[in-house]
Amino acid sequence: MPPDKLSRPFWLTAVGCSVLAFCLYAFTVAPDVTFTDAGELAACCLVWGVAHPTGYPLFTLLGRTWLLLTAPFAPPISALNLLAAVYTALSVLAFFGICWEILQASHRSLHLHHQLVVCSLGALTYASARTVWAQGTAIEVYSIHLALLWLAAWGFLRAWRTGNAQFLLGSAYLFGLGLTNHAMMMLLGPAFLWLLVVPLRRWDRRLLASIGLALTLALLLYLSLPLRSAAQPPLDWGGVARGWEKFFAHITGRQYQVWMFADRTTWVAHSRLFLELLPWQLGLIGLPFTAIGLFRLWKLQRPLAIWLLLVMAGCLVYALNYSIHDIAPYFLQAYGALGMATTVGIASVWERLRITPLLRYSFIALPLLNLATNWHFNNRRHDWIVPHYLRLITELAQPNALIISSQWDFWCSAFWYKQMVEKVRPDIVLVEQELVRRTWYPPQLRRWYPEVMACCTTAQQVYEQQLELFESGRPYEVTRLQRAYESFFNTLIDAHISHRPVYVTPEVIAREPAIGATYIKIPEGPLLRLSSRADTLSPRLLSLSSLEPLSASLRRYHYSSLVQDLRRLLINGFTASFSYAQRHGQQQLSRQLQLYLQLLNGALMPASGQ
């Protein structure tokens, strides 16, 4: 054990902060499936499948274990959303420990009681930060990433300060486990290397070999992916059992590399977003204390100041140049480093407020301001947007519908969960248009819908041959690949349009106008029904019970960019339906559609009291 082992007051205070954070997250947790990857990740946990790159084997295994434990008490998606709260609350405990280690190295003269209070203020400010709090309200891979990130950092700092190699080996193992959850863990690498270099004189090569072994043992968890893939689980993203190349491409996220270090525009936009969100991470008024903390740490413990700067820089160099729309969680590491510097700043000011000690406790304003200003943005206990939108789609879709869509963020991912787990509309065949560009997905469609896909075997084979050339980096003809891609969809549509309703969503036609080009597109809300002849709108549009609660949810969460995009999509779809109904003399339906539009346009205004 280290010479100054952690005392009972430390654990009581740290666990207390973590429990408070968990209560906050559990109260504001989302009740059902949410945007983007939540549905797919939840389904993977339940069926023990392989998730999208980089596979997330640790996330899936822990999620499945949690579901086995909570099965009698809660629906799977509710239990997994609560698990996100557990992970994020655990990260608060680790954050408290990091702040403690930093203060032990830089502000040892501060009384034990005062150190605990300062660490509590820092941890609670971190817990109520907007981007951190968001991870505790719905299932995603970032909540467990936060827990592993700060647990590993805590162990490394403790090993650096006390010289106890056991913490170092444990942290190396946690770091490796973090890599099996999300490759973003690698961004902490430069800071860890710095902590290894500074005291290198005391640690021999055998210890470094042990660190490498601990890291390797953790990374072996990735081998569970090809093992599960070979068993052909219901959800097998990537088909990684097909060979080493497919496995390596999956765990390294090769398909995402086109978005990395894309252009200067991305850097400017992400830098602006990072700065816009920054005050809401530090209690609005925390930035001056951040600057004080970095300055004091540079004077008192320069190695730790450099460590904090490397933690922040390692994150930002990558995140600011990664061209994806949901980039905010990638800032978490940098925001955490700034939160640690803020805690040091509070400690530095605290030492100098000896004349008026009561003034010290005014720092409670930081977490309270975070709580007050972020509540509206992070309270997701009424967030039914995705379930209501999915219900709208299923209300509009006729029995045995074939739907071609690429609305992954809005409903495709969620529908995978709802259909696979809750058995919602098992008659619907969903083909995700963008995923068809990946070699693993057509075979997955054949396993999910064997009868439906059997009609276009030849077209599939031709397309998959061309697609394999593209995906493996071998020479291919762009025109030939595109023709085979379009032929796959058109063969599928032609084979089924005579005996089952076929729908596409508007973005499919906008991106690929050749898909279903020979058919009339009949706008039915957010769907376009394909028809070989002019037809009237479906009477299903007359009674849509999901639209009113969906509109209410859109008003409540109007500040989200995804919500704004969804609202625009709905308004455009129902406007097109209204115009079509008027042209074809469906007067009753046109009046009803006008009411729908008024309801949706009301979503422009915030809900009362918000």
Taken in order 575, 581, 583, 585, the sign of the CA dihedral is: negative
User: Higher-confidence residue: 6 or 496?
Assistant: 496
Mean pLDDT of all residues in 112-116:
90
Average of per-residue pLDDT across 581-606: 87
C-alpha 83 chain-centroid distance: 14
Q: What pLDDT was estimated at residue 608?
A: 38
Per domain, the residue ranges of the chain are 8-238+248-378, 385-604
Query: What gap in Å lies between CA 99 and CA 231, rounded to an integer?
Result: 45
Per-residue tokens: 171? 């942290």
Summarised one tens digit per residue, pLDDT across range 328-342 is 999 999 999 999 999
Q: Express as a percent the part of the chain with pLDDT over 90.
A: 82
- Rounded to whole angstroms, how far apart are CA atoms 586 and 20? 57
Residue 323's pLDDT band (boundaries 50, 70, 90)? confident
Q: Which token pair is 390?
A: 């999915």
Residues 365-406 have pLDDT tens digits of 999 999 999 999 999 999 999 999 999 999 999 999 999 999
Cα dihedral 148, 217, 232, 488 sign:
positive
352-356, 401-405, 490-494: segment of lowest average pLDDT:
352-356
Using pLDDT thresholds of 50, 70 and 90, give the confidence band for residue 603: low
Distance between CA atoms of residues 146 and 151, nearest Å: 8
Please write down the long-range contacts of 360-365, taking CB distance under 8 Å and 24 or more positions apart: 360/114, 360/117, 361/117, 363/118, 363/121, 364/121, 365/283, 365/285
- Angle at which helix 287-300 crosses helix 332-351, to 10 degrees, equals 80
Give the whole-angstrom CA distance, residue 368 versus residue 100. 21
Enclosing H/E stretch for 18? helix 8-28
pLDDT band, residue 606 (cuts 50/70/90) = very low
Alpha helices, DSSP H only, in 29-140?
Answer: 38-47, 57-70, 76-106, 112-127, 130-135
Mean pLDDT of the chain: 92
pLDDT of 375 reads 96
Residue 607 pLDDT greater than 50, yes or no:
no
Pseudo-torsion of CA 415, 418, 424, 429, nearest 10°?
30
pLDDT of residue 479: 94
Separation of alpha carbons 394 and 325, rounded Å:
27
Contacts of 98 (CB under 8 A, 6+ apart): 150, 153, 154, 157, 340
What average pLDDT does the segment 59-64 reach?
Answer: 97
pLDDT bucket at 202, cuts 50 / 70 / 90: low
Q: How do residues 516-570 score in pLDDT, each as one tens digit?
A: 999 999 999 999 999 999 899 999 999 999 999 999 999 999 999 999 999 999 9
User: Nearest Cα to 45, choosing from 86, 88, 90, 75?
Assistant: 75
Lowest mean pLDDT among 188-202, 409-423, 478-492, 592-606: 188-202
Cα angle, residue 243 at apex, residues 241 and 247 outer, rounded to 5°: 70
Q: What is the pLDDT of residue 260?
A: 79
Q: Are 336 and 205 in contact (CB under 8 A)?
A: no
Q: What is the mean pLDDT of residues 241-269?
A: 87
Beta bridge partners of 531: 520
Q: Which amino acid type is present at position 312?
A: M
- What pTM was computed for the model? 0.93
**546 with 391: CB under 8 angstroms?**
yes
Per-residue three-class SS string for 361-389: HHHHHHHHHHHHHHHHHHCCCCCCHHHHH
CA proximity to 581, closest of 527, 525, 533, 526: 525
pLDDT at res. 4: 55
Structure confidence by residue, pLDDT tens digits, 25-39: 999 999 999 999 999
Distance between CA 155 and CA 170 in Å, rounded?
7
Mean pLDDT for 448-477 is 92
Distance between CA atoms of 92 and 126, rounded to whole angstroms?
A: 7
Question: What CA dihedral angle connects 4, 7, 11 and 16, to 10 degrees?
Answer: -120
The pair of structure tokens assigned to 570 is 């709905």
